[in-house]
Chains A and B, each alone.
Chain A
Amino acid sequence: MKNRKTRRLIFTLLWVIAFALVNYPIGAMFSTKLEPFILGMPFSVFYFWSAYSLLILAGVLLAWKVMRD
């Protein structure tokens, strides 16, 4: 049971960190930055696509490791 609680805490924390990437203040730091261009995109656009992809991944891990059923 303790093991399950620790696992729940770790994966929930991971999700919260990913969520923080698309929110103020971390998201705001990168949302007005145009250089460098990555994969042809201004940094701000690239940043958001990457951060949201990470957030989705964190959600999948949360379901796999923590959620019941």
Chain B
Amino acid sequence: MANWQITLIIVAVYCAIVLGVGVFTRTKGETSLSDYFVGNRSLGAFVAFFTYVATFHSSFAFIGAAGQMYSGGIKFFATFTSCVVSPLMIYIIGRPTWYLGQKYNYMTQGELVGDYYESKALRYLVAVVSLIFLVPYLQSQIAAGGIIFETISEGRISYLTGCIILYAVIIGYILLGGFKAVAWTDTVQGILMIVMIWIAGGVVLVRTGGSMSWTNLMQTMATEFPEKVMVPLEYWPTYMTSFISLFGISIYPPSFQRFFAVKNPKTLKWLSVTTPIYLIFFYIPIMMISFSGVVYMPGLEKADQVVPMMLTQYASPVLVGLVMAGALAATMSSTDSQLHSASSIFTVDIYKGMKPEASDKTALFNGKVFIVVISAAALALSVHTNKLITTIVTIALGGCLQILPSLIGALYWKGATKAGAMGGLITGVIVVIITQYVPAFKTPLGLSSGFWGLVCNLLVFFAVSAFTAKPSAENIEKFHGYLAEVNRQCDEKAASN
């Protein structure tokens, strides 16, 4: 049997397993919106941990990160800052969100923000911004899936067919099991990813050059490619600010949805400081593979292909199959969350917003149809891009980050107003698009478009809020009064212990 056939069989078995998880987790009988979109708010710590890290770690980790380390060396470590700092937002934003979701039955950002500012228009705006920036991320994931299938089949499965296979499997288990299927498949995928990437890193290190050890590899890097083991001085402004743009990962709808889904706020607290351990631990073998690639496979046309190419060259077909299943897991674990989240935004914010009298059954049917529609849109876009996955991801996260100020108003700042939140959000999104796509304004000072969008967004948000009407006193009390009471009770409990 040819190597590519062995690899494909392993990948097929993996796809069958995740579909099986979808069947296993499906709800018998009628499903409510809360069940389908936030798993009845019953997510325990173990599954919450893996679904969060697997959603956070997409194909970006397996494919994009290795590509960046291959081409830019340790400049990529700037991403580590976001891996460590951004999850703190799980606590800062996630904790009050959890309490409000539990109390008032929210399932999406749009619902929460729209309710606080007493504005359906803002609810729709948040939903539309989320959907607009979900698509490029989806596109990047599906592109990665296409690359993986094309590489492991040695070109026998085309990029487009690979994308379609990936979508078919993901849509299959989401339609079957909703949030529970997404969370449990994420858990399987999260475990598979970390195990496989470590095995792959070890094998590549041992097989490249036979006696080539870690020390030798690093010494070769330092002598022949010193620019890849240093961060040049001129890169520091980017290094120091890139994490701000990546705060968007916690505001990003699929991550945000998990704030509503966990069983208790303690889970969120520990998620915010323990997810970086998984995330950083993941990048050690990625560094082994990409640095080995620099030494043994220099000049790759597409840096993103370094992991599949190195494995195909140096590992056994069985291992290639297993690791590629891990890479597919990384892609799928993010794609499923994005599709599921897009469906919840469409159903809860837009469909139910327009037709509040619609039954859960009808709303869910429309939400499921939307999954297929948005998949097709992302698939169509993925055919027309050859950009680095990392670049696409950064734009998507920077765009979603623009929802942050309106959330700050709802959760922390009583002075925020509807006009301020809307003005800030619209300004932020426009600035992200201009600083990303208009050549004359592209990423000024080397800082990301998400960063510039957020700066302009905050300026407008605070300035407009200073001169416009606040939400009603009852609504401010409904949110801030309730959260203050929760904090007071927590402090009293802590003081008595």
B277 neighbours in A (Cβ, 8 Å): 56
Instruction: Determine if A52 and B218 form an interchain contact, defined as CB atoms under 8 angstroms apart.
Output: no
B280 neighbours in A (Cβ, 8 Å): 52-53, 56
A23 neighbours in B (Cβ, 8 Å): 81, 239-240
B231 neighbours in A (Cβ, 8 Å): 27-28, 31-32, 44
A63 neighbours in B (Cβ, 8 Å): 91, 269-270, 272-273
- From the candidates A28, A42, A60, name the one contacting B233 in the complex (CB within 8 A): A28
CB distance from B290 to the nearest CB of A (A): 13
Instruction: Determine if A68 and B214 form an interchain contact, defined as CB atoms under 8 angstroms apart.
Output: no
Cα–Cα distance between A42 and B490 once the two chains are bound (Å): 47
- From the candidates A22, A44, A49, A60, name the one contacting B274 in the complex (CB within 8 A): A60
Residue B219, interface by CB 8 Å: yes
Instruction: Determine if A62 and B494 form an interchain contact, defined as CB atoms under 8 angstroms apart.
Output: no
Instruction: Determine if A32 and B215 form an interchain contact, defined as CB atoms under 8 angstroms apart.
Output: no
B239 neighbours in A (Cβ, 8 Å): 23-24, 27
- Contact A69-B95, Cβ < 8 Å, known A4-B494, A31-B231, A34-B229: yes
- From the candidates A19, A59, A69, name the one contacting B273 in the complex (CB within 8 A): A59
B441 neighbours in A (Cβ, 8 Å): none
Residues of B within 8 A of A (CB-CB), count: 43
Instruction: Determine if A68 and B230 form an interchain contact, defined as CB atoms under 8 angstroms apart.
Output: no
B480-496 contacts to A, CB under 8 A, are 487, 490-491, 494-495
CB distance from B175 to the nearest CB of A (A): 35
A60 neighbours in B (Cβ, 8 Å): 273-274
A1-53 contacts to B, CB under 8 A, are 1, 4, 19, 22-24, 27-28, 31-32, 34, 37, 40-42, 44-45, 48-49, 52-53
- Contact A45-B229, Cβ < 8 Å, known A19-B85, A28-B236, A69-B95: yes
Instruction: Determine if B214 and A22 form an interchain contact, defined as CB atoms under 8 angstroms apart.
Output: no
Instruction: Determine if B230 and A1 form an interchain contact, defined as CB atoms under 8 angstroms apart.
Output: no
Cα–Cα distance between A68 and B272 once the two chains are bound (Å): 13
Residue B356, interface by CB 8 Å: no
| Mask: chain B, 58-89; 1 = CB below 8 Å from A; 0 = not | 00000000000000001001001100110010
Residue B226, interface by CB 8 Å: yes
Instruction: Determine if B74 and A68 form an interchain contact, defined as CB atoms under 8 angstroms apart.
Output: no
B269 neighbours in A (Cβ, 8 Å): 63, 67-69
Residue B156, interface by CB 8 Å: no
Instruction: Determine if A32 and B273 form an interchain contact, defined as CB atoms under 8 angstroms apart.
Output: no
Closest to A68 in B: B490
CB distance from B78 to the nearest CB of A (A): 9
Residue B265, interface by CB 8 Å: yes
Cα–Cα distance between A10 and B108 once the two chains are bound (Å): 36
Instruction: Determine if B80 and A48 form an interchain contact, defined as CB atoms under 8 angstroms apart.
Output: yes
Residue B222, interface by CB 8 Å: yes
- Contact A42-B218, Cβ < 8 Å, known A63-B269, A67-B269, A68-B490: yes
CB distance from A31 to the nearest CB of B (A): 4
Instruction: Determine if B229 and A24 form an interchain contact, defined as CB atoms under 8 angstroms apart.
Output: no
Instruction: Determine if B230 and A40 form an interchain contact, defined as CB atoms under 8 angstroms apart.
Output: no
Instruction: Determine if B230 and A31 form an interchain contact, defined as CB atoms under 8 angstroms apart.
Output: yes
CB distance from B213 to the nearest CB of A (A): 7
Instruction: Determine if A59 and B88 form an interchain contact, defined as CB atoms under 8 angstroms apart.
Output: yes
CB distance from A22 to the nearest CB of B (A): 6
Residue B276, interface by CB 8 Å: yes
Cα–Cα distance between A63 and B92 once the two chains are bound (Å): 11
Residue B221, interface by CB 8 Å: yes
B80 neighbours in A (Cβ, 8 Å): 22, 48, 52
| Mask: chain B, 201-223; 1 = CB below 8 Å from A; 0 = not | 00000000000011100110110
- Contact A55-B84, Cβ < 8 Å, known A23-B240, A32-B230: yes
Cα–Cα distance between A56 and B273 once the two chains are bound (Å): 7
Closest to A59 in B: B273
CB distance from A41 to the nearest CB of B (A): 5
- From the candidates A19, A44, A53, A55, name the one contacting B230 in the complex (CB within 8 A): A44
- From the candidates B85, B236, B266, B276, name the one contacting A69 in the complex (CB within 8 A): B266
Residue B444, interface by CB 8 Å: no
Instruction: Determine if A62 and B490 form an interchain contact, defined as CB atoms under 8 angstroms apart.
Output: no
A41 neighbours in B (Cβ, 8 Å): 218
Residue B299, interface by CB 8 Å: no
Instruction: Determine if A42 and B214 form an interchain contact, defined as CB atoms under 8 angstroms apart.
Output: no
15 contacts between A and B (CB under 8 A): A22-B80, A31-B230, A32-B233, A40-B213, A42-B218, A44-B229, A44-B231, A45-B74, A48-B77, A49-B284, A52-B77, A53-B280, A56-B277, A59-B276, A69-B265
7 closest residue pairs by CB, A with B: A40-B215, A31-B231, A59-B273, A63-B273, A69-B265, A68-B490, A32-B230
